[in-house]
Amino acid sequence: MSLRLERRGRRLGLRGPLPCRKGSGRFPVQRISLGLEADQEGLEAARSQLRRVLQHLQQESFSWSEWGPAVQAERGSTEPGLDQSAALTALCERFEQSFFRDPRRRRNPSGSRTTWTSAYLPYLRRLQRIAGEQQLSFGVPLLEQVLESYPLASRSRQQCGTALAALARVEGLALPEEWGERAGGYGLHAAQFRQLPSDAQILEWIERIPNPRWRLAYGLMATYGLRNHEVFFSDLSALAPGGDRVIRVLPTSKTGEHQVWPFQPEWVDRFELHRLGGDRLHLPVVCTDLRRTTLQQVGRRVAEQFRRYQLPLTPYDLRHAWAVRTIHIGLPDTVAARMMGHSVAIHTRTYHHWITRRDQQQAVDTALARFRAA
């Protein structure tokens, strides 16, 4: 069997006997992903790449470090007639198509659009800008430059790392082993850590909101730790008199359906949330038609209203305070994470300080109890 062009879906590659990656001296049948579209322009570029690989094989100079998938995607896209900027744009478009083809994304189209717009697109735009400014082609050095452009221990850096890792995965580019560690650090930044509101402050600051509709929205976020937009995408029927007060965040939200219990439970009455059980019209008038808006825009409206009332906290401060409250109460992290609609890993990273303190205190109390019993 000889080396030949191969079409897989909408992309072109090479397939045939190639040197073993482990250096065994054998030539098993393997593939090279070229990252080229299966059109006339891509076909011409792929034929050029085939000639290059055959030449290197004949000269016994073939190296996988030069002909790996991501390198070929870059080279194939920068053949004559395709400039580097256009190649990177095409690469990002392929990534977008791959993102929305994922069956998991199709189950929640509106949430997926919000996730793409807020958690992927900004980092791809920065990728293209930095590539143009520094004349870098797609590869690990470019991705590292983009990642390092965000502050350490910031949420944006963590999201950037996730987005770029997904892009690299689609393009077959191997990232450094420490990529996850370098991209990590999502959590509360130092100022937010110090300024997280106490329960007494949360109860005090609601008095600064003159609009009763926004007071209900504030109380709902404080009591249930909801994201900004989840206030408007939840089933609140359980708040009606006689209900169990367990609300259900709807599948149309960012992270899909999940149930949430109130902490503190007495705040349901304190904030008069029972009014929402019978009529959602008591909430602020906000467009929730996802054909005309996005979850991100709904959330932004809430944040803008907090600033308009000059509240000394953000909507997410209420969410963080709810999470810390569950830690002090002793709710298992897996349960709290499920209620917040994120992974246990994210929960642990975000609230590491309080979780560590709780676990250490429990260990100390257990050790002291044993000592006293002895």
Confidence of residue 78 (pLDDT cuts 50, 70, 90): very low
Q: pLDDT (tens digit, 9 = 90+) per residue, 191-213? A: 455 578 899 999 999 999 999 99
Confidence of residue 163 (pLDDT cuts 50, 70, 90): very high
The neighbouring-strand residues paired with 17 are 29
Can you give the pLDDT at residue 232? 94
Can you give the pLDDT at residue 187? 53
Question: How distant, in Å, are the alpha carbons of 75, 84, 152, 154, 163 from that of 125?
Answer: 21, 15, 20, 18, 12
Q: Give percent of the chain above pLDDT 90.
A: 37
Average pLDDT over residues 171-198: 69
Angle at alpha carbon of residue 342, lines to 314 and 303, rounded to 5°: 20
Average pLDDT over residues 147-152: 83
What lies within 8 Å, CB to CB, of 299 at 6+ separation is 227, 228, 229, 315
